């Protein structure tokens, strides 16, 4: 097989500069100039064709778009989960202690501006007078938003394994809700 075009162009320029080499010598030199991973064999597979085929599959299956969709639904489901868990935790123990522990853990994982926004909203929800009444609304929203995450994962897996979804919409949503 011929090496990539860029290496051939560079070698042709070098050969045309006055050197007299045969085609075999040119192929040998081009194989020496190319990086070794292109010729590497791992478990019986050549690395370059394997990488090329993998990239083609990633682009055909729209893996980047599906991963963005899944991440969006995941982060979209965090607020309803807080809306459900925060009033629930306020019923269990000391509000300030539990809230402080959760907020410090969240602060180490979330960027500053997003942390300030989430902290303000969760603070308003936990310390509100009708906080226990929000549990039912938060549970419904958390279940719906969480099911969107699992629906996106179902779609991504179906696409990755080239399976056509044959279940009705409501069955797929029911499976996602129970997950």
Spatial contact of 48 and 21, defined as CB atoms under 8 Å apart = no
Spatial contact of 81 and 142, defined as CB atoms under 8 Å apart = yes
pLDDT digits (tens, 9 = 90+) for 111-139: 888 888 878 877 777 777 766 666 777 78
All residues at 6 or more sequence positions from 70 whose CB lies less than 8 Å from its CB, including other chains: 149, 152, 153, 156
Helices 112-126, 95-107: crossing angle, 10 deg rounding: 160
Q: Is the pLDDT of residue 46 over 90?
A: no
Query: DSSP string spanning the chain?
Result: -PPPHHHHHHHHHHHTTT----HHHHHHHHHHHS-GGGT-EETTEEHHHHHHHHHHHHHHTTHHHHHHHHHHHHHHHHHHHHHHHHHHHHHHS-HHHHHHHHHHHHHTTS-HHHHHHHHHHHHHHHTSTTGGGHHHHHHHHHHHHHHHHHHHHHHHHHHHTT----S-HHHHHHHHHH-
Percent of the chain with pLDDT over 70: 73
Mean pLDDT of 91-98: 75
Q: Is the pLDDT of residue 68 over 50?
A: yes
């Amino acid at each position: 097989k011929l090496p990539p075009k860029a290496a051939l162009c560079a070698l042709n320029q070098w050969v045309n500069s006055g050197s007299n080499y045969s085609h075999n010598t040119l192929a040998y030199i081009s194989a020496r100039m190319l990086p070794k991973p292109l010729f590497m064999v791992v478990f019986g597979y050549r690395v370059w064709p394997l990488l090329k085929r993998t990239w083609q599959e990633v682009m055909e299956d729209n893996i980047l778009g599906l991963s963005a969709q899944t991440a969006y639904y995941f982060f979209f489901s965090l607020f309803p989960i807080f809306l459900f868990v925060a009033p629930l935790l306020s019923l269990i123990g000391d509000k300030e202690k539990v809230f402080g522990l959760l907020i410090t853990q969240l602060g180490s994982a979330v960027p500053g501006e997003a942390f300030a926004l989430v902290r303000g909203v969760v603070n308003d929800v936990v310390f509100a007078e009708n906080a226990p009444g929000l549990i039912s609304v938060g549970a419904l929203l958390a279940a719906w938003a969480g099911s969107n995450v699992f629906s996106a994962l179902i779609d991504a897996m179906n696409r990755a394994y080239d399976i056509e979804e044959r279940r009705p919409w409501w069955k797929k949503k029911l499976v996602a809700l129970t997950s």
